[in-house]
Amino acid sequence: MAAISELRPEETSPAAPEHISGAIERVTFHNSENGFCVLRIKARGQYDLITVIGQAASVTAGEYIEASGHWVTDRTHGLQFKASLLQVIPPSTLDGIERYLGSGMVKGIGPHFARTLVKAFGERVFAVIEDNPEQLLELPGIGRKRQQRVTVAWAEQKVIRAIMVFLQSHGVGTARAVRIYKTYGEEAVERVRENPYRLALDIHGIGFKTADALAQRLGIPPDSLIRAQAGVRHVLQEIAGNGHCAAWHDELAEQATALLAIPPTVIEQAIASELEAEHLIAEQIDERPALLLTPLQRAEQGIALGVQRLLSGTPPWGQIDPERALPWVERQIELQLAASQRAGIAQVINAKLSVVTGGPGVGKTTVVDAILRILQAKAVRVLLCAPTGRAAKRLTETTGREAKTIHRLLDFDPQAMAFKRDQYSPLDTDLIICDEVSMVDTVLMNQLLRAVPTGAAVILVGDVDQLPSVGPGSVLADLINSERVPTVRLTEVFRQAAASRIVVNAHRINAGRIPEAPRDDQPKNDQPNSDFYLIRCDSPEQIHERLLKVITERIPQRFGLDPVRDIQVLTPMNRGSLGARALNSDLQRELNPSTQPRLERFGWTYAPGDKVIQLVNDYDKEVFNGDIGRILSIDTAEGLVTIGVDGRQIIYETGELDQVALAYATSVHKAQGSEYPAVVIPLATQHYNLLQRNLLYTAVTRGKRLVVLIAQPKALAIAVRQLGSQRLTRLRQRLLELNPVTAQSTPGAFALTQPFLDP
């Protein structure tokens, strides 16, 4: 191999690959997502360190590499060795072994313990850990627990590396190897070879395109039926990911044909095979052929049957006379109810299943409180729930009674991935009140209704004008629009709420009108503090500049709010200069700039003090999509990150950090069911596809004390004017197809414990 000093740019691309080997002195950069790395290595026969760029599943200082590739000259970074094949092997020198073990790659071994191990066992240390782990107990300060943690972590690393080598050899980024190992165990390679498309179904973070690329490298033909079936399922799952429970048959076939570039006849054959295997269900929606994923079709059917079952009969507390109950409850709450509230309460207390909906300031909380007081007077057993932890906590605060997440109420078992409460083991209650129902998707609503005993009653509370659930379906809207479920729609904004510009402007937006707010340039001494501000900007760049200033200076100084704890940026999109990802990087730099230690994983850099959001439901940890917390500590030696969420300390392994992301800014969808002291909303024309009325309305109603809208006037006008697209479901049609329910007269089950009479 020629010395570096002898190479000239025109000689940097020989036909035959060259080979170099050496010890990694420093990992300059490593992207866990795709394996790309920049390494500084000490190569044999070279005085200076060599820069090597390539792909490796994991790399650690002290390891030894063997690489094949070519020398290239980079305009910025100079001469580099570009490796087309890069193999990482454990080090052989004592210094390399110590650095390798002390890097934190093996949980339980930090720099100090690595030094102890090398001093005790020398070059035999790897063999000791793998073959004679009992010898570790001879070292001072090493107990059985730590010894077991080290040996288990070492064995896991060995298997993971084999999986990584396999995946990398087939051109796949291997950051997901840990998840593949945890899902399939030691059979991972065999399972992937058998059907690589299973990765897209079983492994979080691996999509169809990744699985498809692997399949083709493994020799599966592009026009094979197995590929067509996986592609059809993928397209339908993508459609479900956008909130739809169904897809039109012809549109699904057309999209799958375009995605896979295979003949339509093969796609139709794949659809037929999926129907035969009952992975898909074919139905008519408005007399047009449609296809549904089987779990969603079953869930819609379950909801319809649950509604029919619960509408039968009278409530377990019997009939209540509103003429006696309403004056009594007004004395209890020391408040004169409005006519609309009285009518709503009268309807709900004599219904088995009912919906209460309305926007901010219309008295939903008062109505629910009054209903609870009336039913408590009849010793009714009540359970309260909401779809998220934050929503459940808010329900607890407003009612004074314990509320749980739906998952906790139904006793979800993360090991079995199933609910313990169902039709065979129903909830022991007379009434269930579920809040924030607009967030509840089709599958979860089916699970909830299944667990409600037939004799019990259900009250569903939510704002139907907010964004629909993140998951598939528009359950609350379908229930209301079917007109099969008794519904109370509150619309009157009460005087106290009308003093809030947040409430007033939320209703203006919902009515298709531009919000009114103090201009940002009005004299502050002459204007009392409002709770809603509109800052008009000419460009996205100006929005970005004003947003950073508002968060770091204006709001903290004027309102005394903490920029990390109290202020939440809600943006329509994740991408773009005003998307959640870019804003998080900018806000992290401004609000948490120099905290150590810092940890880079899955494209994010984390540090103690960072605000983070949970991206997926983790039932083992009992944290759910949308939960927000703060990083409390990072232990690089143990590979652990501790995050505080709602007063609980939750420990993540570093390989699990793709479950979270920075949360200084987040999407409006992720904020559903949450409230924040202050909300800052950037709106630009670059958000065009998501500029919709219900999205802006949802964002504004997340703010409790302050909302600052920083917008291009054109973008604001589009958002207020543009209605969101309707989701394709069959639930409303199923409800309309139900046989009409005739209420049965049954005697009241309870006597009054607090009679609706004057003392």
Tens-digit pLDDT profile for residues 434-493? 999 999 999 999 999 999 999 999 999 999 999 998 889 999 999 999 999 999 999 888
pLDDT for position 744: 36
C-alpha span between 163 and 168 (Å, rounded): 8
Q: Reply yes or no on whether the pLDDT at 748 is more than 50.
A: no
Mean pLDDT within 702-726: 91
Q: Reply yes or no on whether the pLDDT at 216 is more than 70.
A: yes
Identify which of 195, 626, 631 has the alpha carbon closest to the alpha carbon of residue 391.
626
- pLDDT band, residue 746 (cuts 50/70/90): very low
Q: Where are the alpha helices (DSSP H) in 65-110?
A: 94-101
β-pairing, 50-55 vs 78-89, is parallel
pLDDT, tens only, 680-709:
999 998 777 788 999 999 999 999 999 999
Cβ proximity of 635 and 590 under 8 Å: no
pLDDT for position 169: 64
C-alpha span between 49 and 264 (Å, rounded): 55
Which residues, 6 or more positions from 377, have their beta carbon under 8 angstroms from its beta carbon? 328, 752, 753, 754, 755, 756
Which residues, 6 or more positions from 300, have their beta carbon under 8 angstroms from its beta carbon? 245, 292, 442, 446, 473, 729, 730, 731, 734
Mean pLDDT within 79-104: 75
C-alpha span between 594 and 410 (Å, rounded): 43
Cβ proximity of 102 and 150 under 8 Å: no
C-alpha span between 602 and 619 (Å, rounded): 21
pLDDT for position 679: 96
**Is 364 marked as binding a ligand?**
yes
pLDDT, tens only, 582-621:
999 999 999 998 777 778 777 778 889 999 998 877 877 8
Rounded to whole angstroms, what are the CA distances from 439 to 167, 368, 432, 476, 673? 38, 18, 17, 9, 7
Mean pLDDT within 652-660: 83
* Contacts by 527-533, CB closer than 8 A, 24 or more apart: 529/558, 529/559, 530/501, 531/500, 531/501, 531/502, 531/703, 531/705, 531/706, 531/707, 532/500, 532/501, 532/502, 532/504, 532/505, 532/700, 532/706, 532/707, 532/708, 532/709, 533/706, 533/707, 533/708, 533/709
**Is 367 marked as binding a ligand?**
no
Q: Reply yes or no on whether the pLDDT at 5 is more than 60.
A: no
User: Taking the chain, what is the end-to-end CA distance rounded to the nearest angstrom?
Assistant: 101
β-pairing, 18-30 vs 36-43, is antiparallel
Identify which of 217, 237, 213, 204 has the alpha carbon closest to the alpha carbon of residue 602.
204
Query: What percentage of the chain exceeds 90 in pLDDT?
Result: 44
Q: Reply yes or no on whether the pLDDT at 42 is more than 50.
A: yes
How much helix, strand and coil, in percent to the nearest 5, is found in the chain? Answer: 40, 20, 35
Rounded to whole angstroms, what are the CA distances from 19 to 16, 66, 82? 10, 7, 11
Q: Looking at 16-77, which runs of residues are DSSP E strands?
A: 18-30, 36-43, 50-55, 64-74
Based on its alpha-carbon atoms, the radius of gyration of the chain, rounded to whole angstroms, reads 30
Task: For 285-299, give the DSSP string.
Answer: ETTEEEEEEHHHHHH
Structure tokens at 747: 């005697």
**Is 141 marked as binding a ligand?**
no
pLDDT for position 526: 44
Q: Reply yes or no on whether the pLDDT at 749 is more than 50.
A: no
Cβ proximity of 512 and 506 under 8 Å: no
Q: Which residue has the higher pLDDT, 752 or 241?
A: 241
Mean pLDDT within 116-137: 84
* Residue 597, burial from CB neighbour count under 10 angstroms (0-12, 13-18, 19+): exposed
Mean pLDDT within 344-357: 94
β-pairing, 382-386 vs 431-434, is parallel
Identify which of 75, 76, 82, 18 has the alpha carbon closest to the alpha carbon of residue 50.
82
Identify which of 209, 102, 204 has the alpha carbon closest to the alpha carbon of residue 655.
204
Mean pLDDT within 229-257: 93
pLDDT for position 240: 92
pLDDT, tens only, 164-197:
667 656 655 445 665 676 677 777 788 888 888 8
Q: Reply yes or no on whether the pLDDT at 136 is more than 70.
A: yes
- pLDDT band, residue 753 (cuts 50/70/90): very low
Q: Reply yes or no on whether the pLDDT at 108 is more than 80.
A: no
pLDDT for position 14: 44
pLDDT for position 176: 61
Mean pLDDT within 56-67: 75
Least confident residue range of 581-590, 720-729, 743-752: 743-752
Residue 570 φ then ψ, to 5°: -120, 120
Q: Reply yes or no on whether the pLDDT at 89 is more than 90.
A: no
**Is 361 marked as binding a ligand?**
yes
Least confident residue range of 208-212, 423-427, 501-505: 208-212
The rounded mean pLDDT for the chain is 84
pLDDT for position 451: 96
Q: In what order do the strands lie in the sheet with 532-536?
A: 532-536, 703-711, 676-683, 567-571, 665-667
Identify which of 404, 451, 405, 459 has the alpha carbon closest to the alpha carbon of residue 428.
451
Q: Which residue has the higher pLDDT, 422 or 2?
A: 422
Report pTM. Answer: 0.74
C-alpha span between 582 and 665 (Å, rounded): 9
